[in-house]
Structure formats: structure tokens, C-alpha cells
Amino acid sequence: MAASAFGQKTDNPLSTSTKGLYTMAKGNLVKAAEKMPEEQYDFKPTPDVRSFGQVVGHVADANFMFCSAAIGEKPPVSGIEKGKTTKADLVQGLKDSFAYCDKAYDGMTDARGAATVKFFGSERPALNVLNFNIVHDYEHYGNIVTYLRLKGLVPPSSEGR
């Protein structure tokens, strides 16, 4: 048995570590989406970027796309970014996307993670696809942090410091 990145002993240190990072990203993103007031969901720092709500919808759409690829399914949902506009609908879409991804991360083992799946036109290890999802989540969490700060709000990852 090897130790994961979070110090626990596990037979699947790679996939366990990946799930730990995913859980952190999920928590920060959901809390941030819930924290932004409804009237700020159409906020854009500049006209040429996504609104806060569109970023939340984009993350939800991407979660469905990446996690479905990792488990060899077709995305069960798409169009959240372009089809949802209210805070309630966007937060629910984000939560639904994470609930779907939970099954991909919960079912991943190191052996399954080494198996290849089709992703962006090539064969890649399934665990790599889930790691790509985490990177994408944090890329857009960085955008969300900026939007929150511009509105005078403390992002979830900085609370309590």
C-alpha cells in the first residue's frame, strides 16, 4: 500500500489523490457560485469576457463533457452556459455536473485510470482526463475569484484566513 498525496494509505494512491484535489475544486466552485448575489450573475469585468453566470455554466458543461469521456459515456447534459441565466438554474446545473462527476471520481482506480479513453480526438489515460477536468475547474475558479474580489467578496478558498 502506498500513501496518497493527502497522507492516507491506499491501494490506489494516484486516483485517491486525484479525487482529493477534485473534492477541493468542487467545494470552492459551488460555494463561490452560491456566494455571488443573483444581481451580479450578469457581471462582466470587461465586455469581451464571459459573465459570472456564463463562467459557472461553462464549468458545468465542461464537467459533464470531461467526466463522461473519462467513463466512456456521452455527456448526459449540455448547453447550461447558453441555456440557463438565473442563479438558481446555474447553481443547480453546477451541482448536477459535480454529482455526475462524483461517479467518475468515486469509481476510478489506478488500474482503470491507466486504461485509455477517447478525449479530444486521441486516446488518453482516463485518469489524465479527470486531472484535466480539475485543471479546467481551477482555471475558471481563478476567473471566479477575480469576479468575486471585484465585487468586494472574499472567495471561499480565502475565507477564515
Please state the domain extents for the chain.
13-43+50-152
- Distance in angstroms (rounded) separating the CA atoms of residues 108 and 131: 12
CB 158 within 8 A of CB 141: no
The CATH number of 13-43+50-152, from 1.20.120.720, 1.20.120.450, 3.40.50.12780, 3.40.190.10, is: 1.20.120.450
pLDDT in tens, 95-134: 999 999 999 999 999 999 999 999 999 999 999 999 999 9
pLDDT at 2 over 60: no
pLDDT at 1 over 70: no
pLDDT in tens, 4-46: 455 567 799 999 999 999 999 999 999 999 999 999 999 999 9
CB 11 within 8 A of CB 113: no
